[in-house]
Structure 1
Amino acid sequence: RELETEAGSALAADGVAAEAVEVRRREAELRFDGQESVLTVNLDGAGALVGEAVAERFREAYRRRYGHVPGDRAVELVTLRVVVSERRGGEGRERFAAAGEAGPAGRQRAHARESLSPGMRLAGPTLVQDRFSTLFIAEGWTAVVGSEGTIRLERAAAPGARIGAAAETAAGADGDGGRAEVVDLELFTCRFLALVDEMGMLLQRCAVSVNVKERLDFSCALLDPDGELVANAPHIPVHLGALGECVRRVRAVLDLAPGDIAITNHPGYGGSHLPDVTLIAPVYAADGSLLGYVANRAHHAEIGGARPGSMPPGAASLAEEGVVIAPRLLMRGGEADWEGLRRLLGGGPFPSRAVEENIADLHAQVAALRCGADALERLAADAGADRVRRFMRLLKDRAAAALAAALERVPHRGERRAADAMDDGSPIVVTVRKTAGERLVVDFSGTAPVHPGNLNATPAIVRSAVIYVLRLLAGADLPLNEGLMRDVDLHIPPGMLAPDFPDDPAACPAVVGGNVETSQRVVDVLLTALGLAACSQGTMNNVIFGNAHFSYYETVAGGSGAGPGFPGEDAVHCHMTNTAITDAEVLEHRLPVRLERFAVRAGSGGAGRWRGGCGVERVLRFLESVALSVLTQRRVRGAPGLDGGEAGAPGRQWLERRDGARVDLGPIDGVEAEAGDVFHLLTPGGGGCGADA
């Protein structure tokens, strides 16, 4: 009431009579505690609706929008708004009775908005212009002018016309059915991409953790009935290529029925490392046939483990890295088992330190899956389930054809071999060759045996790296999908890139560094073997700190490698990571830390005809005592150049104590930091390309 009175007084000051003032809207913007995005709730007709009643109206609106309510989280009132205006002259509901035809304003079929009278009808295609906008009325649509001047568009074409039908009809008249299929493939590709984009945006809006909503450390994907990746949003490459492997492994052990959602983070089932939690939902058409799967993977900054942040540098087994979630149903027939998941996350030798934040982000992941499933179901209802599956297959065919065309440009069938080593000397070796049958063989024989620490990767991670590089080689504008692997023979011998995972997590190798560090080195050796680019920073520069009250994780940019005809980029996330850095304002507002410096590390890129990109310098002052962990590489040797280019500068990191003492930190290290201690991080530069003239 105070806002209404204040707004009415403002209008009165402008000469509006009190009896002419009307309240147009009463609304509130609310959100759950920890979220950034708000949802607007209409309070019109609410009378004395206050407190818990407003919160309940918000929860119901949230449930309608996202399909769930995230537990018992508190509701925050962000904005209370009242909109008042001078009462308009027209009374009653606006009418749209036809009263004549509007003639064209000229040969361009454009109409001036002010010349239109109530009741006029305008058949598309035509334009309506005013001083501020131009309205395009497409063919098959009719515009009707209402009694108050509003233009309502009505679809003249029969509803339910399937996507691409117009293109097929036109092409059929010309005898050009092939062109119609190309057009339809583009339309379906756009729909598939819009589906996964929308999933990602909803996941970001609904999430609570800084890691998901600010750093964007998540991925969403659409897969076909065979569990093969079809389309993805431009999220995290190390996630995306692995999701197909994960879906196929999970569906082999779980029967997924309508309304079911599976959850896992197990590296033996296509997972990467334990903080990356994957949700999978099957999608069925109205006739009961399987359309495909929607899946997402999000990095939870805390999932248990020996140190806060769930990336312990000294871990020697999977059990020490956190809570292991073997494939299980989170939802069966639409009913969720949140309590069972809470018990799992809060149990075991190294439970999660942030169970409720895990649950909140998982609610967001569920909402994103429902969003994607609904969109795929609508597409099947509109276009037909068989056509949806057909164009999934054609999109993979297109990717396979693009790679085949790129391989024809590879000058010879001889072997191409590249090798590099992790900072402890563990070799990563790849041999690439074309066969007489125009297949590509990618062989990692010669790579190190199982790593005693946490640098073990998985076949799913290696597959992600290979698909990513093949997408670069293909060079076509198409979604990353598993059609790229159709003519590829991938050989990964047992060892560091394909360790065994027994049932007991304590007997499984540690993997947290394999996902973030070894994956980068796999990409570097592949790019070197194919001659596409010099090595990039070769690390994600993982920084993890926290205590009993919070955990924070970030990856930090560095320099990318130069290539034939182009320099490297400064200060970018390279290859298998595509995350954002947390804004300084958000970082300092939410965490007990101060960002004292964040700048390009000048001169750290490798010299050459084309210079490698420079790394960055990042300096953090801790305002509380924290356990600090770093998981990095390229601290011993810099990123090698290509074709005579020089190596980039290696990275460095140290902790400066309050008393000025310096503690140098190794590539994979941890230290207890006190309030007032300062962490310095210098990330590597990328390698140069070509001898400097």
Structure 2
Amino acid sequence: NRAHHAEIGGKTPGSMPPDGRCLADEGIVIPPTSIESIGDEFFKDSRSPADNLADLKAQIVANRYGVKSLRKLADQSSVKVVVFHMRSVYDRSSMLLARALDKFGEASAEDKMDDGSVIRVKISKDEKLVVDFSGSADVHPGNLNATPAIVRSAVLYALRLWVRTDVPLNEGLLDQVEIVTEPGILDPPLTCDPEACPAVVGGNVETSQRVVDVLLEALGLQAHGQGTMNNFLFGNERFGFYETIGGGAGAGPGWHGRSGCHVHMTNTAITDIEILEERFPVRVREFGIRRGSGGQGEWRGGDGLVREIEFLEETTVSLLTQRRQLIPRPNGVPGRNLLLRDGQWRELKGIEKLVVKAGDRVRIETPGGGAWLQDLKISL
């Protein structure tokens, strides 16, 4: 299984340094290792080693439960029957994609990260569905590099939406798909030396969203959503905290985008205000819908959110966000990050690290989703 470990060391609390330049900046790197053999020594550079080990133990227990359940099924029905049904799920997904391919010709789309890095896709039909990201940006100097596994996940997600049928998410959807990437932002060089590997945390959480946006645009499924996870991290040597904040979803043909929700590649629940204030030296001053931030049209884009937090002691804050410069197309309102200090508001960058003092507030206004217009392809 896969889990998110929010604190694994690195340059800043929360292990997502906005100014990271290599994998070593982003925390502990564990080479291929038996999970059963991982102990305290692996997390000596983490700010929360006890939490790391507890989370790993939970993953081990989950895997053991999965093994136990699968064996129980096999005992009840035989291995042959279980394998048959597993294969049937796979084959059904493959068949549904083949059906969608029958009506497909060719499409393309491109968009940019806030710094101008291009994400480009061309989708065509040959013997397989070819999803070609050639022409996307070079290796990013910061942390917006997305590994091929992230790109593959985004493609799988988009195709699951494209088949428009309730089917379990599985590899069968990629059975007739060829994914093409060039060395660059969507296929960064990987080596055994963390100091030589490009940073990637932003690729996982931010670039992945742009990949989904261009895929859904090319397939004609939906206007752009907020296009960011609004990563918000803060802490000091005593603690580290990380959350993602929802925003507006893009509208589609026949439906409005939802307001104040996570979109596409993120689905984490936000921390309850009472728990956040109990465990950390902060006060939540505002949390609600950012009215009017969704794009207006026949089918409206969803509104973003506002989350404003006051800090009660000196703390390092990291922001890793997008859609602060460029809009969620065709007409969503971009987000804003703000700092209140000594009675004065100032705007922060989309990607920024800062030290706040007691009494300072950080306000995050997340983007709204784009509207679905009658002639969306021209409007985009």
What are the superposed Cα offsets for residues 597-641 of structure 1, whole Å, 9 maximum, x if unpaired? 111111101122111111011111111211000000000011012
Output the CA distance in 1 between the equivalents of 2:238 and 2:57. 22
1:255-294 → structure 2 map (5 Å cutoff): none
1:8-407 → structure 2 map (5 Å cutoff): 296-331=1-36, 337-338=37-38, 341-346=39-44, 351-407=45-101
Partner of 1:473: 162
Query: Does residue 121 of structure 2 align to residue 426 of structure 1?
Result: no
Counterpart code for 2:7: E
- Where relative contact order (Cα < 8 A, 6+ residues apart) is larger, the structure is 2
Counterpart code for 2:358: A
Q: Which runs of 4+ in 1 moved over 3 A?
A: none
Query: Does residue 332 of structure 2 align to residue 648 of structure 1?
Result: yes
Choose the corresponding residue for 1:573, options 238, 257, 262. 262
- Partner SS, residue 441 of structure 1: strand
Output the CA distance in 1 between the equivalents of 2:10 and 2:151. 24
Counterpart code for 1:302: E
- Partner SS, residue 588 of structure 1: helix
- Partner SS, residue 20 of structure 2: coil
Output the CA distance in 2 between the equivalents of 1:584 and 1:354. 22
Partner of 1:496: 185
Query: Does residue 217 of structure 2 align to residue 540 of structure 1?
Result: no
- What is the root-mean-square deviation in Å for CA atoms of aligned residues? 1.2
What are the superposed Cα offsets for residues 310-344 of structure 1, whole Å, 9 maximum, x if unpaired? 0000000000110001110122xxxxx35xx3112
What are the superposed Cα offsets for residues 627-662 of structure 1, whole Å, 9 maximum, x if unpaired? 000000000011012xxxxx10000001111x1133
Partner of 2:348: 665
Aligned in 2, Cα 1:603/1:691: closer, same or farther, shift over 3 Å? farther
- Partner SS, residue 366 of structure 1: helix
Partner of 1:416: 107
Shift of 1:691: 5.0
- Partner SS, residue 405 of structure 1: helix
Shift of 1:543: 0.2
What are the superposed Cα offsets for residues 82-121 of structure 1, whole Å, 9 maximum, x if unpaired? xxxxxxxxxxxxxxxxxxxxxxxxxxxxxxxxxxxxxxxx
- Partner SS, residue 34 of structure 2: strand
Counterpart code for 1:551: G
Counterpart code for 1:325: I
Partner of 1:678: 361
What are the superposed Cα offsets for residues 349-378 of structure 1, whole Å, 9 maximum, x if unpaired? xx2111111111111111111111111111
- Partner SS, residue 465 of structure 1: helix
Counterpart code for 1:688: A
Partner of 2:378: none
Choose the corresponding residue for 1:618, options 289, 307, 320. 307
Output the CA distance in 2 between the equivalents of 1:328 and 1:387. 33
Counterpart code for 2:83: R
Counterpart code for 1:475: R
Partner of 1:600: 289
Output the CA distance in 1 between the equivalents of 2:374 and 2:303. 18
Counterpart code for 1:429: R
Gaps of 5+ in 2: 376-380
- Partner SS, residue 307 of structure 1: coil
Partner of 1:247: none
Query: Does residue 164 of structure 2 align to residue 486 of structure 1?
Result: no
- Partner SS, residue 307 of structure 2: strand
Provide the identity percentage: 55
Counterpart code for 2:255: F
Shift of 1:448: 0.4
Query: Does residue 327 of structure 2 align to residue 635 of structure 1?
Result: no
Counterpart code for 1:395: V
- Partner SS, residue 298 of structure 1: coil
Partner of 1:6: none
What are the superposed Cα offsets for residues 270-291 of structure 1, whole Å, 9 maximum, x if unpaired? xxxxxxxxxxxxxxxxxxxxxx
Output the CA distance in 1 between the equivalents of 2:55 and 2:28. 16
- Partner SS, residue 483 of structure 1: helix
TM-score (norm 2): 0.96
What are the superposed Cα offsets for residues 282-313 of structure 1, whole Å, 9 maximum, x if unpaired? xxxxxxxxxxxxxx211112100001110000
Partner of 1:150: none
Aligned in 2, Cα 1:373/1:621: closer, same or farther, shift over 3 Å? same
Shift of 1:508: 0.3
- Partner SS, residue 35 of structure 2: strand
Gaps of 5+ in 1: 1-295, 332-336, 642-646
Partner of 2:372: 689
Output the CA distance in 2 between the equivalents of 1:432 and 1:599. 38
Structure ID, larger Rg: 1
